[in-house]
């Protein structure tokens, strides 16, 4: 593959966007299934070999370093993706220049603060090694931004997922192996370093570009019109989620963060499986449909339907089967204390599955200020509720606060309908109803049956079959039509 020609390759038209978007979602979802299988079993094994405090330390330090990522490009990468016009080489290089300057500054500041961080959070030598490895991973990840942007503009998510799969396999494979050998927190540190290095090399092989530095004021002003408001939203997301998690480290301790991290990880697994892939594809696709309101509305409804169809039954299944699974495996019973937190986070994920596609669509069509106001509301509620409930009820209070804050997402749905033409209930009602019926029968089964490994497998298979039948009865013809469109997209794009 030769160097990407940034100024000669024509932009793709709307028909190609729609075809590649459908193909991209299918490709990403299929490969993301493999990614989540690796993540599922990898995290499951790590939570057997490592204790709550070790898991919590990794989550807390990871959040600390992740905060840096949101300040590393002031939204310029998102602006390059959202921009209707094809980016020039000067815009690309100007973005790269600013990003590397910011990344370098953030690394220097963090390294200078390391002694204070070690003392404030009582981080031992192993934790410090983990911090340094995550900082190295942060730098290597910044080098991947431009190749990723170039692939996303072309909707080549199949290549992006190749990188993600390789990184996930290396990370969990090495981390589990070292944890099994008793390396503790160092298992994470070495896994992060190897994953980051291989991922950076691989994406440049798949999407090379002529690296260079530039500083073109006109191009930057144009990009920053979208980038700065977009980054303001991500900054609020950092304050709401990442910074709060670091703050909670002091309130509930490393073990509490580990319990919350475990509960949140499993509750968000369906979102990571579906929503992340869908959002990655639909953001540039929606951006290309800005001038086609009817097509955009149909695309949003399809997105909500697809997300609800897959996420809702998974959330119900996790909620009903988590307890018997935990106590079925002796080494896993230590996580029984996290069940209440899990149930609260499942509520949070259900609302997230509905509102994330809508805020993503608002961002893609340039309604950044609306999303910003919503983020201000969610951030204020988070900082008002989480600390109070954490001090009063510990980690379960934090999880309950997450459920309370997420319920305000009803307002986001109402606001989105003012600016985007779509039918919300037509998209989500039938998947929700089918999931509730499936959940009712699954609850009865778990109540009356004595659970062992084979019974658990039978319950998973049986509930999946029941849900499939219900969905076919409710939306069978629609699903068949969508499958035909999917095959058409693969055949022609």
The pLDDT of residue 392: 93
What pLDDT band is residue 290 in, cutting at 50, 70 and 90?
Answer: confident
The pLDDT of residue 13: 52
The pLDDT of residue 247: 85
Q: Which of 176-190, 197-211, 356-370 has the lowest mean pLDDT?
A: 356-370
The residue-averaged pLDDT of 131-150 equals 88
The pLDDT of residue 333: 85
What pLDDT band is residue 491 in, cutting at 50, 70 and 90?
Answer: very low
**Rounded distance between C-alpha atoms, residue 197 and residue 462, angstroms:** 43
Q: What percent of the chain has pLDDT over 90?
A: 35
Q: Is the pLDDT of residue 407 over 90?
A: yes
The residue-averaged pLDDT of 276-298 equals 73
The pLDDT of residue 186: 92
Q: Of the candidates 258, 243, 82, 54, which has an alpha carbon nearest to the alpha carbon of residue 153?
A: 82
The residue-averaged pLDDT of 218-242 equals 66
The pLDDT of residue 260: 93
Q: Of the candidates 6, 224, 266, 267, which has an alpha carbon nearest to the alpha carbon of residue 98?
A: 224
The pLDDT of residue 233: 64
What are the pLDDT digits (tens) for 300-314? Answer: 888 899 899 999 999
What are the pLDDT digits (tens) for 345-397? Answer: 999 999 999 998 898 888 887 787 888 889 889 989 999 999 999 999 999 99
Q: Could you tell me the CA-to-CA distances from 454 to 332, 459, 460 in Å, in that order?
A: 18, 9, 10
Q: What angle do CA 96, 99, 100 make, to 5 degrees?
A: 85
The pLDDT of residue 5: 41
Q: Which of 214-218, 224-228, 230-234, 271-275 has the lowest mean pLDDT?
A: 224-228
The secondary element (H helix, E strand) that includes residue 313 is: helix 293-328
Q: Of the candidates 474, 464, 104, which has an alpha carbon nearest to the alpha carbon of residue 316?
A: 464
The residue-averaged pLDDT of 146-174 equals 84
The per-residue pLDDT of the chain, averaged, comes to: 82
Q: Residue written as tokens 């961002």?
A: 363
**What are the domain boundaries of the chain?**
14-492
User: Given CA atoms 261, 267, 273, 279 in this order, what sign does their dihedral have?
Assistant: negative
């Amino acid at each position: 593959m030769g160097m990407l020609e940034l100024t000669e390759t024509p932009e793709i038209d709307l028909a190609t966007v729609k075809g590649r978007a459908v193909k991209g979602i299918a490709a990403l979802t299929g490969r993301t299934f493999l990614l989540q299988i690796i993540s599922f079993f990898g995290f499951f094994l790590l939570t057997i070999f490592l204790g709550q405090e070790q898991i919590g330390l990794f989550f807390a330090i990871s959040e600390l370093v992740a905060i840096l990522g949101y300040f590393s490009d002031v939204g310029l990468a998102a602006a390059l993706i959202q921009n209707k016009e094809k980016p020039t080489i000067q815009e690309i290089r100007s973005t790269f220049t600013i990003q590397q300057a910011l990344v370098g500054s953030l690394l220097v500041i963090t390294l200078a603060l390391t002694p204070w961080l070690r003392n404030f959070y009582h981080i031992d030598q192993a934790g410090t090694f983990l911090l340094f490895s995550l900082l190295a991973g942060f730098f290597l990840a910044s080098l991947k931004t431009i190749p990723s942007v170039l692939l996303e503009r072309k909707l080549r998510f199949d290549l992006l997922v190749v990188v993600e799969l390789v990184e996930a396999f290396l990370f969990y494979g090495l981390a589990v192996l070292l944890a099994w050998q008793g390396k503790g927190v160092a298992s994470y540190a070495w896994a992060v370093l190897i994953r980051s290095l291989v991922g950076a090399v691989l994406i440049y092989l798949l999407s090379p570009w002529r690296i260079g530095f530039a500083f073109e004021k006109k191009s930057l002003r144009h990009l920053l019109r979208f980038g700065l408001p977009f980054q303001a939203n991500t900054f609020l997301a950092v304050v709401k989620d990442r910074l709060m998690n670091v703050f909670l480290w002091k309130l509930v301790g490393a073990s509490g963060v580990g319990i919350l991290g475990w509960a949140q990880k499993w509750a968000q697994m369906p979102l990571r499986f579906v929503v992340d892939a869908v959002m990655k594809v639909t953001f540039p696709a929606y951006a290309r449909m800005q001038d086609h309101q009817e097509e955009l509305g149909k695309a949003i409804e399809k997105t909500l339907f697809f997300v609800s169809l897959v996420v809702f039954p998974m959330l119900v299944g996790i909620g009903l089967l988590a307890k018997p699974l935990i106590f079925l495996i002796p080494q896993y019973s230590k996580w029984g204390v996290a069940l209440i937190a899990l149930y609260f986070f499942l509520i949070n994920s259900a609302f997230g599955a509905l509102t994330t596609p809508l805020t993503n669509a608002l961002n893609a069509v340039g309604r950044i200020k609306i999303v910003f106001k919503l983020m201000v509301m969610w951030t204020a509620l988070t900082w008002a509720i989480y600390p109070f409930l954490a001090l009063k009820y510990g980690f379960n209070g934090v999880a309950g606060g997450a459920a309370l804050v997420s319920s305000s997402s009803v307002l986001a749905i109402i606001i989105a309908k003012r600016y985007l033409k779509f039918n919300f209930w037509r998209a989500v009602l039938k998947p929700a109803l089918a999931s509730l019926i499936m959940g009712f029968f699954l609850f009865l089964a778990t109540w009356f049956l004595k659970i062992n490994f084979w019974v658990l497998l039978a319950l998973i298979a049986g509930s999946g079959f029941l849900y499939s039948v219900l969905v076919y009865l409710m939306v069978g013809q629609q699903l068949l039509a969508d499958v035909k469109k999917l095959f058409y997209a693969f055949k022609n794009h």
